[in-house]
Amino acid sequence: MRCPYCGHYDSKVIDSRSSDRDRGSAIRRRRSCKSCDGRFTTYERVEKTARMMVIKKDGTRTPFDSEKILGGIQAACGKRPVSEERKLEIVAEIEEQVHREHDREIDSLEIGRRVAMLLRVTDEVAWIRYASEYQSFESIDQVQEAIQELKSTPPPVSGQNDLFPSD
């Protein structure tokens, strides 16, 4: 997204939220230009990302759909204490990564892996559910190993720190 102040092409998303909560059809993003630090707002809708294609496990292609990603995250989170904002932030981060690193298509497993990574630092139960559902794990053993690992080492909590400002 081009900076309206200096024309620089690279910006950082500093805040993401759904601008239409009932339908969740648009994601509003507050951006910061990496060159001049200028702040601006963009709105992203599903139609605009439709050109990116996702290669499914059976080899067929389907348009990239951030709503589907959000749906998967919401299903995995269930009643876990994960804010809607955090879920949208994960979707925004995934979109950002996908469009930054891929031109036209991306493997659905790759998307699943990236979502799982972000869920892992957000909520461990949601992570296990998601990774199981999207078969990021190759076997039950791997699921159990991951659970054992969680029991012995607490995961990082980045992304939740904001909920408890220290001042």
Q: How far apart are CA 163 and CA 21, in angstroms?
A: 21
- Give the C-alpha separation, 59 to 157, whole Å: 36
**Three-state DSSP class for 47?**
helix
**In this complex, which beta carbon is closest to Zn ion, that of residue 1 or of residue 55?**
1
* Both structure tokens of 14: 């500093």
Q: Which two structure tokens, joined as six digits, stand for 44? A: 């992203």
How many CB atoms sit inside 10 A of residue 12's CB? 11
CB of 11 to Zn ion, least distance (A): 8
The residue range among 38-46, 60-68, 70-78, 100-108 that interacts with Zn ion, by the rule CB under 5 A, is: 38-46
Q: According to the binding rule CB under 5 A, does residue 6 interact with Zn ion? A: yes
Using the rule CB under 5 A, which residue among 27, 31, 33, 92 binds Zn ion? 33
Choose, by CB under 5 A, the member of 13, 32, 38, 125 that binds Zn ion.
38
Which chain residues interact with Zn ion by CB under 5 A? 3, 5-6, 8, 33, 35-36, 38
